Structure 1
């Protein structure tokens, strides 16, 4: 292991970055931050810090939180160190609140929230306490993946979530909202036009997903 590290550390920065780009950003940050000054500087490059997916996902589309040691290190050391460089975060339900409240994210413009329950969605977009350190006016892209439950998502609840999303994120230009059932089968989603409250947004429906984009003027 020590020999491999010496060989890696001897590579020119350009070659090392090409190699590291083939690895998940979270693995680069977890492995290199704090090792030495040179590797720390490389790990801080926007290539590895601008878009972070802080969850584990597998080929069958299943999603799991990071292991406790990994999550602890990100929350206690890595995220506070690179918080101003992060432009997009992909998070899963059980760890998203801790990550969002770990530090402020002054340049965050994109947020992906995956595998969240209806209750979590309502709490997140109505209570807002988990979004304290986010400049909500700066968020232009939002992905929300709702975990389907036995009771489904009633029309009134659906519109309440949408209304609060558009109220909170006043500069939202892109919204991808989806509901996944057991075995990750995506469910149809029909949304009333009354859920859209901004004249600068248009809602397009399809059988299994909906996207909000800016209207062309």
Structure 2
């Protein structure tokens, strides 16, 4: 059995299994930026379909501003890495700061699950109402979506959160599983379906919904027939 001299040990001497454990301690953005194109072995491990089928490209906590250095990191990932793996990604997690750089420039042909984290309602509403990749994904292929919106009360128009949920359900022809949460910053208030018409938030494909609401009456609104095939409702 070959033994390693501790004075001369090199990371390349480690077996693939140990390297993967080390790599998975990194944020995915760090892993892409630091390890891809270093050598063929690292590329094989980092870009393996098992590792990248769920692509987490949220900026926090790794990147937290729009500095030129951070933009350079994302530009490299967008230009050099994503075109090599976009057809292997089944689930994508992004937030508003990475939306324009990632989702609006790359087609993910195998994507069926999408998580949108920490979006302001106004920004997400714009992405849902334009000719965007997000709109096309929801129309043509997404079956599962998780949306987390956070707003300051003074900065949003009343009812935007319901407009977003209604838009997602109407656009998402193949949606079967939706998680939708909305918070007002530092207050934790959810929204209500009070006075919402029966033609709002309608879906003929949805079977599972996880949502935050204010009152028990809101649950009754969701069960009034507007979600025809809903079989699982979780109030979180």
Q: Normalization by structure 2: what TM-score?
A: 0.73
**Map of 2:3 onto structure 1:** none
**Map of 2:158 onto structure 1:** 154
**Map of 1:188 onto structure 2:** 190
Q: Is 1:52–1:88's contact at 8 Å kept on the other side of the alignment?
A: yes
Please say if 1:169 is aligned against 2:166: no
Q: How many residues align?
A: 209
**Map of 1:134 onto structure 2:** 137
Query: Equivalents in 2 of 1:48, 1:34: separation in Å?
Result: 16
Query: Equivalents in 2 of 1:205, 1:23: separation in Å?
Result: 31
Partner deviation per Cα, 1:37-79 (whole Å, 9 max, x = no partner): 1111111112331122222335xxxx94672222111111111
Q: Which entry has the higher C-alpha Rg, 1 or 2?
A: 2
Cα shift at 1:94: 2.9
Matches within 5 A, 1:24-173: 24-58=27-61, 64=64, 67-131=70-134, 134=137, 136-149=139-152, 150=154, 152-155=156-159, 157-173=160-176
RMSD (Å), alpha carbons: 3.4
Query: Equivalents in 2 of 1:104, 1:205: separation in Å?
Result: 28
Q: Normalization by structure 1: what TM-score?
A: 0.78
SS at match of 2:164: helix
Query: Equivalents in 1 of 2:213, 2:125: separation in Å?
Result: 24
